């Protein structure tokens, strides 16, 4: 695997992001001698496709390996799943010197990271990302958590991994829809900080296929720079929530029938439409973003009414003193603080008007 960059959280040790094929070999290159126990954790799909070979490789290194899995999907990213997996680790006498290897997309990585954050008050973990969405988003930055009936990722912790492995060979196993969902996050990063990446996405939009390592690297670079500067989302990191205020409400309102990447695509358009009406974003940039997402095969219209989604805005993590906040770019490739904040206050009336 190629070394893409190091994430350098201001409060902790840097950790590498590697990109390429052969996750088992790459894992050996970052494995530490003190990790005598390993927990290889994924959903039933990713465990079968990737986890077994990773576990086998660790066993050849002399590690004691516990393999854990749970059913795939956001419906299983919950406290009950976390409790069951933790109980299995306790029964297996997994010690504080162990390392969790979370394998798969955003759900296994979020669950695995959250367990690592709390098990015995914190143990090491490594993310092996096998979906494009996870590679450009969930694997990087140390956000972990589970969902509740009140909303997405409302219970969790910041807990940075010791390494991130982006398995681009795994992308060939993904259906086109999954690639589209990952490209939605690439489009978000491009809209925030990299217009040249946005132009590249426009060039490739009509032929969705596994992206090059170079395109992944450009998207990762945007998130890496922001996360390194603000690891606990006390300021600038809030811009990475562009599209997520609306997107998370849509996921909750549809009981996760709308996948995350699709929800974020719709969220970016609705939030940008609101911004254009407020004069925060030029209408031409709204058109450009909406056109790109449409060409990528992503939805740009909400699948449910505003009234259905509205109750979930109050539970959004960015809501402060009852005020809904959205991260808004200034134009394609540029986002800046506004009146001392990286998010802007919006009203339910404005969101309702921008819904369609």
- Phi, psi dihedrals of residue 84, rounded to the nearest 5°: -65, -45
Q: How many Cα atoms within 13 Å fall on the side-chain side of residue 343?
A: 24
Of 143, 173, 203, the last residue of a domain is 173
For residue 295, how many other CB atoms are within 10 A of its CB?
15
Residue 233 appears among annotated catalytic residues = yes
Residue 125 appears among annotated catalytic residues = no
CA angle 222, 19, 191 (to 5 degrees): 20
Pick out the chain residues at pLDDT < 50.
none
What tens digit of pLDDT does each residue of 145-159 get? 999 998 889 999 999
User: Choosing from 180, 188, 244, 317, which is the catalytic residue?
Assistant: 244
User: Choosing from 152, 162, 188, 248, which is the catalytic residue?
Assistant: 248
Residue 234 appears among annotated catalytic residues = no
List 5's β-bridge partners, or say none.
17
Of 144, 173, 202, the last residue of a domain is 173
Q: Distance (Å, rounded) from C-alpha 134 to C-alpha 121?
A: 25
User: Choosing from 233, 251, 317, 318, which is the catalytic residue?
Assistant: 233
pLDDT at 321: 67
Residue 237 appears among annotated catalytic residues = yes
User: Choosing from 218, 237, 317, 325, which is the catalytic residue?
Assistant: 237
pLDDT at 150: 87
Is the sign of the CA dihedral 97, 98, 102, 108 positive or negative? Answer: negative
Of 173, 190, 221, the last residue of a domain is 173
Residues 140 and 188 in one domain: no
Residues 211 and 162 in one domain: no
Residues 225 and 265 in one domain: yes
Residue 241 appears among annotated catalytic residues = yes
Residues 255 and 211 in one domain: yes
Residues 208 and 79 in one domain: no
Residues 134 and 160 in one domain: yes
Q: What per-residue string of b and e applies to 102-111 under the rule 16 or more CB within 10 Å gives b?
A: bbbbbbbbbb
User: Choosing from 127, 241, 251, 318, which is the catalytic residue?
Assistant: 241
Residue 121 appears among annotated catalytic residues = yes
User: Choosing from 180, 260, 273, 325, which is the catalytic residue?
Assistant: 260
Q: Distance (Å, rounded) from C-alpha 133 to C-alpha 114?
A: 18
The string of DSSP letters for 246-312 reads: HHHHHHHHTTT-S-HHHHHHHHHHHHHHHHHHHTSS-HHHHHHHHHHHHHTT---S-SS-HHHHGGG
Residues 150 and 188 in one domain: no
Q: Distance (Å, rounded) from C-alpha 90 to C-alpha 153?
A: 24
Range of the domain at 20: 2-173
Residues 135 and 256 in one domain: no
DSSP-H helix ranges across 119-175? 132-133
CATH number of residue 6's parent domain? 3.40.50.1970
User: Choosing from 34, 121, 214, 339, which is the catalytic residue?
Assistant: 121
Domains contained in the chain, number: 2
Q: How many Cα atoms within 13 Å fall on the side-chain side of residue 193?
A: 19
Q: Distance (Å, rounded) from C-alpha 300 to C-alpha 287?
A: 11
Cβ(35)–Cβ(59) below 8 Å: no
Quote the tokens at residue 257.
């029938």
Ramachandran class of 105: left when φ > 0, alpha when ψ lies in -120 to 50, beta otherwise: beta
Residues 141 and 257 in one domain: no
User: Choosing from 76, 77, 125, 143, which is the catalytic residue?
Assistant: 143
User: Choosing from 160, 188, 223, 318, which is the catalytic residue?
Assistant: 223
pLDDT at 39: 98
Burial class (CB within 10 angstroms; exposed 0-12, middle 13-18, buried 19+) of 225: middle
- Phi, psi dihedrals of residue 283, rounded to the nearest 5°: -60, -30
- Compute the chain's Rg from CA coordinates: 20
Residues 18 and 53 in one domain: yes
Quote the tokens at residue 77.
């990213």
Residues 12 and 110 in one domain: yes
Question: Distance of CA 282 to CAs 121, 210, 285, 286, 288, Å?
Answer: 47, 31, 5, 7, 10
Q: How many Cα atoms within 13 Å fall on the side-chain side of residue 331?
A: 4
CATH number of residue 271's parent domain? 1.20.1090.10
Residues 187 and 72 in one domain: no
Predicted TM-score of the model (pTM): 0.92
What tens digit of pLDDT does each residue of 44-93 get? 999 999 999 999 999 999 999 999 999 999 999 999 999 999 999 999 99
Q: Distance (Å, rounded) from C-alpha 336 to C-alpha 157?
A: 26
């Amino acid at each position: 695997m190629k070394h893409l960059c190091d994430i350098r959280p201001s409060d902790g040790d840097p950790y590498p992001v590697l990109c390429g094929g052969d996750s088992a070999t790459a894992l050996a290159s970052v494995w530490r001698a003190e990790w005598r126990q390993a927990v290889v954790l994924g959903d039933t799909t990713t465990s079968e496709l990737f986890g077994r070979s990773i576990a086998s490789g660790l066993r050849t290194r002399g590690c004691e390996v516990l393999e854990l899995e749970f059913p795939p999907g956001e419906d299983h990213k919950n406290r009950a799943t976390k409790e069951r997996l933790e109980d299995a680790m306790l029964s297996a006498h997994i010690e504080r010197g162990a390392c969790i290897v979370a394998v798969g997309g955003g759900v296994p990585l979020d669950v695995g990271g959250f367990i690592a954050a709390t098990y015995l008050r914190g143990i090491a973990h490594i993310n092996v990302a096998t979906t494009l969405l996870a590679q450009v988003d969930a694997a990087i930055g140390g956000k972990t958590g589970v969902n509740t009936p009140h909303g997405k990722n409302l219970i969790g912790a910041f807990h940075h991994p010791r390494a991130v492995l982006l398995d681009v060979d795994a992308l060939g196993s993904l259906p086109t829809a999954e690639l589209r969902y990952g490209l939605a996050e690439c489009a978000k990063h491009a809209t925030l900080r990299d217009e040249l990446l946005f132009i590249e996405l426009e060039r490739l939009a009509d032929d969705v296929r596994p992206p090059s390592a170079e395109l992944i690297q450009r998207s990762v670079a945007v998130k890496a720079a922001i996360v390194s500067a603000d690891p606990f989302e006390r300021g600038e990191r809030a811009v990475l929530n562009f599209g997520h205020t609306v997107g998370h409400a849509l996921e909750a309102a549809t009981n996760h029938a709308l996948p995350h990447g699709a929800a974020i695509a719709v969220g970016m358009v609705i939030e940008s439409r609101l911004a254009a009406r407020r004069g925060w974003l030029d209408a031409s940039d709204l058109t450009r973003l909406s056109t790109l997402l449409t060409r990528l095969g992503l939805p740009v219209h909400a699948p449910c009414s505003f009234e259905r989604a509205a109750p979930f805005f109050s539970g959004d993590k960015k809501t402060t003193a009852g005020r809904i906040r959205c991260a808004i770019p200034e134009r394609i490739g540029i986002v800046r603080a506004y009146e001392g904040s990286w998010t802007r206050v919006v009203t339910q009336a404005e969101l309702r008007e921008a819904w369609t």
